[in-house]
Chain A
Amino acid sequence: MAETTQNTDNNITTGGSGHLQVRLVTPDRVLLDATADAVELPAVGGYLEALYGAAPLLAELGAGEVRLHGGTSNEKKFFVAWGFVEVLPDRITILAETAIIPSEIDKAEAQEEINAGQKMWQEAGDNALQYDQANDLTRQGEEKLASAEGRSL
Chain B
Amino acid sequence: MANVLDLRRRIRSVKNTRQITKAMKMVSAAKLRRAQERALQARPYAQMLTSVLESLVRRTDLYNGQTGEIVHPLLVEREEKNVLLLVIAGDKGFAGGFNSNIGKAAQKFFLERAAQGQNIDLEPIGKKAIGFYKKRFPAANYEKTEEHYDNDLSTHYETIRHRGAQIEVAAEHLDLLLRTEFGAVSKVANDIIARYTRAEIDSVYLVYNEFKSVIAQRVVVEKLLPIRKLGTHEITAAEEMTEEQKEAAARSAASEGISVFEPEETVMEQEAKKFGTADVDYIFDTPPEQIFEHLMPRYITTQIFHALLESVAAEHAARMTATDAATKNAGDLIDSLSLTMNRVRQAAITKEIIEIVSGAAAL
Contacts and interface: CB of A to CB of B under 8 A. Distances in A.
Given A125-B154, A126-B154, A84 B295 contact: yes
A28 B48 contact: no
B268 interface: yes
Given A86-B52, A97-B186, A126-B154, A27 B302 contact: yes
Given A28-B42, A60-B291, A97-B186, A126 B282 contact: no
Contacts of B156: 125-127
B60 to A, nearest CB: 10
Given A56-B281, A84-B52, A98-B183, A44 B44 contact: no
Interface of B: 38, 41-42, 44-46, 48-49, 52, 146, 154-157, 182-183, 186, 268, 272, 275-276, 278-286, 288, 290-291, 294-295, 298, 302, 305
Given A7-B278, A27-B182, 13 more contacts: A25-B48, A27-B42, A28-B42, A30-B41, A30-B44, A44-B286, A57-B282, A57-B285, A58-B283, A58-B284, A82-B294, A93-B48, A93-B275
A56 B285 contact: no
Interface residues of A, number: 32
A17 interface: no
A27 B45 CA distance: 5
Nearest to B180: A28
A142 to B, nearest CB: 18
A101 interface: no
Nearest to B182: A27
B285 A45 contact: yes
A57 B283 contact: yes
Contact of A25 (B44, B281, B288): B44
Nearest to A85: B285
Contacts of B42: 27-29
Contacts of B183: 97-98
Contacts, number: 97
B275 A86 contact: yes
Interface string A24-58: 01111110010000000001110010000001111
Contact of A126 (B155, B182, B278, B280): B155
Contact of A125 (B157, B186, B278, B280): B157
A28 B41 contact: yes
A57 B294 CA distance: 17
Interface in A69-114: 82, 84, 86, 88, 93, 95, 97-98
A10 interface: yes
A59 interface: yes
A149 interface: no
Contacts of A60: 285-286, 290-291, 294
Contacts of B280: 10, 56, 88
B72 to A, nearest CB: 15
A27 B305 contact: yes
B177 to A, nearest CB: 16
Contacts of B291: 58, 60, 84
A25 B154 contact: no
B182 A56 contact: no
